[in-house]
Every structure is written in structure tokens, then in C-alpha cells.
Amino acid sequence: MPENAYVRPVLGRRDRKRLETRNGLAAVALELFAERGFDAVTVNDIADRADVDPSTFYRHFGSKEAVIFSDLGDWTGHLGDAVRAQPAELPLLETMRTGLKDLAANLMVDVDNERHRAQLTKSSPSVRAQGLAVREALIEGVALAIADRMAVDPARDGRPYLLAASCILAANWYRDYVVRTGDLPSSAEDAVDRIIDLVRGFVAASAE
């Protein structure tokens, strides 16, 4: 592993149990949404199926909309930390490439889950709003990390936000592309390369 590679903190027993419960709730919720439709499912339904109290659900998620994007929300802090962990001399776009590769295990697309998420996003305004909020939080978190590396104030310099947004939106487009076409990458690292190359191509085309 490279010297500067970001490594997620090792979880203690309590945190592992909490993550197991959270992932279980998310799986049950998505199963119910697929069976009944998003609007027909309540938090009580999810709790009943998971055999927990509704209060347990709310300890992990603020709403049933939040369940749908729980994996993306978990990225916010980790991706920013991964960007900060890269060598100072690395160019910014390569910083994003390497930072994403440090988290590459989470990049592989589950086509069925992504297709279901896309359907829910299109059919429910509240789900769509939640997705936009999660994406914006992810962009903001990465932009702050890039601003730290550039030693600039992100409130006065738009470059960190623009780079972060380009990478996150490229990743979003690529996930949609995989769902539409079934053209899976050979590995998570290959997915990262395709995403960053897409951004690089856009930047080059914009400069012409």
C-alpha cells in the first residue's frame, strides 16, 4: 500500500454492530420499496420487517428518503480524508484519482440496486430532493479538502468546488451509464480511471 494511502479507521465492536444494524435496515427498506412502492412504505413497516423499534431506525436515518442514499452519504467524510492524505506534489486531478482508488472497494456498481434507486428518484420528488442534498454535501466535502490542498478560501475561490463537482457528477454519470448499458468495469480501479478520464476529456475540450 502506498505510504500516503488513506486507510479507513478500524471499527470497534460497538461501531461494527451499529454499521451492521444500519446496513440491515437499509437492505430491508429497499426490499420493501421494491415490493410496495416508496410512498406505500412507512418507517413502522421497515422497523417491523427488521424486527426493531422505529426509534432504532431514526437513530440511523433521519427519514426513509435518507435510506436510499445511505451509501453515498457515508462517502462524504471518507473521500475528503482520502484526498487530504495524498502526496502534496500530486496534481489535483491525480489527487482525486488516487483518493478515489483508496476507496475503490465501494465503487463497484450493483446494477439492480442502482436501477431501483434511479426508478425511485424519478418517481418521488422527496427522494429526488434527498439525492440532490446528498450529492451537494459530497461535493462540498471534497471541495473543502481540495481547498485545503490548494491553500485557498473556497468561499472566494471557485476552483475547488468546480473540480469536486466535475468529479462527482462524472461518477454519477458513469454509474447511470453502467445501469443503462450493463457495461461493467473490469475492476473498481478501472471505474475510477474511466471517471477521471471523463473529467480530463471535458477539461481538454473546454480549453479548445
DSSP string computed for 122-188: HH-HHHHHHHHHHHHHHHHHHHHHHHHHHT--TTT--HHHHHHHHHHHHHHHHHHHHHHH----SSH
pLDDT at residue 106 in the model: 58
Using CA atoms, how far residue 10 sits from 7, 75, 157, in Å, is: 9, 16, 35
Domain with CATH 1.10.10.60 in the chain: 1-62
pLDDT at residue 86 in the model: 86
pLDDT at residue 108 in the model: 60
pLDDT at residue 18 in the model: 82
pLDDT at residue 145 in the model: 93
Where does the pLDDT of residue 3 fall: very low under 50, low under 70, confident under 90, or very high at 90 and above? low
CATH class of 65-206: mainly alpha
The mean of the pLDDT values for the chain is 85
pLDDT tens string 26-75: 889 988 998 998 999 999 999 999 999 999 999 999 899 999 888 776 67
pLDDT tens string 122-167: 888 999 999 899 899 999 999 999 999 999 999 999 999 999 999 9
Please report, rounded to a whole number, the percentage of residues in the chain having pLDDT higher than 90. Answer: 39
Instruction: Give the whole-angstrom CA distance, residue 87 versus residue 141.
Output: 19
Domain with CATH 1.10.357.10 in the chain: 65-206
Where does the pLDDT of residue 121 fall: very low under 50, low under 70, confident under 90, or very high at 90 and above? confident
pLDDT tens string 175-196: 888 888 888 888 888 989 999 9
Q: Which CATH architecture has domain 1-62?
A: Orthogonal Bundle (1.10)
Instruction: Give the whole-angstrom CA distance, residue 143 versus residue 134.
Output: 14
In the structure grid, which three cell numbers stand for residue 58, read together?
Answer: 431514526
Q: Which residues touch 130 (CB under 8 Å, ≥6 apart)?
A: 63, 65, 66, 68, 69
**178-189 as b/e: b if 16+ CB within 10 A:** bbeeeeebeebe
